[in-house]
Amino acid sequence: MFVIREKCTLFFYSTGWIVSFVQIGIYGSGTTENAAKIIKKILDENDIQSFTITKSKGKSADCVIVLGGDKGVRNYFHRTFDSTSPVLGINEGESSGFLAQIELKEFSSFVGILKKQNYTVEEVPRLGVKIDGKNVYPVLNDVAVFSSKSAMLMEHSLRVNGEEVWHDNSDGIIVSTPIGSSAYSMSAGGPVLFQDSAVFEIISVNSLDVTRRPIIVSNESLIEIDDVSARVHCEAILDGLDRFKVTKTVECTQFFPPAKIIRLKKDSTAISALAKKVHLAEELLSMPPSSKLLLKTLEYEGALTQKDLANKTLLPDRTVRLALSHLLKKGYVKKKVSIRDARQKIYEISKIE
């Protein structure tokens, strides 16, 4: 769902006054309808007109408000190749993110800045991806290539700018952007990169070669994962969401234009968010594996019910209950009543101070 908000700005030229409309779009899915209504009400109270469009290829906007936190922002860029409009990510809960900086409850205090367009726009690099020669959508976080069944080795060759770097047997391989370096690749032992670094990182996951280490390459590089094979078919997983069958080759290059992210808070930078993430990673070392898996699933998927968590992680119901109990006790996760069904409880990551 997209909603466009308009405000009128007047410019005086030699021919007289000309009216210019600044258009603000709202993008969300079925699970964010209530939040969209709240955003609409706040914008209406600030005398900003609105109308609804249904496709990302509709009327262009000067900026777009995206609901659903970091996941919502990733989904938005997956569904549109138009990156000319800067995006403001909104968290409906209290989980701060790298892409979505503002919480829904505090949006009203920032609407004036948004209306005046007095904000900073950060350009976030994306990875363009080809699978067996065919383009798929660009990603913000990472591309992971693994066998379609867990605990099964995958053989592959890595080439950078046409030169072979290694031929390896491992669980899989991850190519990550700087903003994605604090997600899956960090869990796999990769370094955390500052967001303004002009590089990508490549991690061979659980390689049979114990000397294999992650490597950092220029973001102008052509990265080729070739001769991919395993006892079962292999898959490329984009941003932890969609899976595509891989027959032989995956190519990654920098995608243009980059994603444009609106930053409204001057005192809440990527560095502070990174510090929180690193602190959490240190605490994760002593956490049970099931709790780690649930936390990572909630990070990627957003708020979920206990049943959803069991289905997505394939863990037994009892294990999910115990893991949730541990996470709730530690304060990493919070529980609330589902807006769509008051009989259900949903779980989401708590804001980490």
Question: How many other CB atoms sit within 10 Å of the CB of residue 18?
Answer: 10
Per the DSSP assignment, residues forming a β-bridge with 65 are: 26, 88
* Tokens 């900026």 found at: 63
Backbone angles phi, psi at 328, to 5 degrees: -65, -40
Question: How many other CB atoms sit within 10 Å of the CB of residue 89?
Answer: 25
Q: Which of 62, 70, 171, 239 is catalytic?
A: 70
The reply to whether 70 belongs to the active site is yes
Check if the beta carbon of residue 50 is closer than 8 Å to that of residue 5: yes
Rounded Cα distance, 237 and 260, in Å: 23
Neighbouring C-alpha atoms within 13 Å toward the C-beta of 75: 18
> 5: Cβ–Cβ under 8 A, 6 or more apart, which residues?
23, 24, 25, 26, 43, 48, 49, 50
Rounded Cα distance, 63 and 300, in Å: 24
* DSSP secondary structure, 36-78, as one string: HHHHHHHHHHTT-EEEEE-STTSS--SEEEEESHHHHHHHHHH
Residues acting as catalytic residues: 70
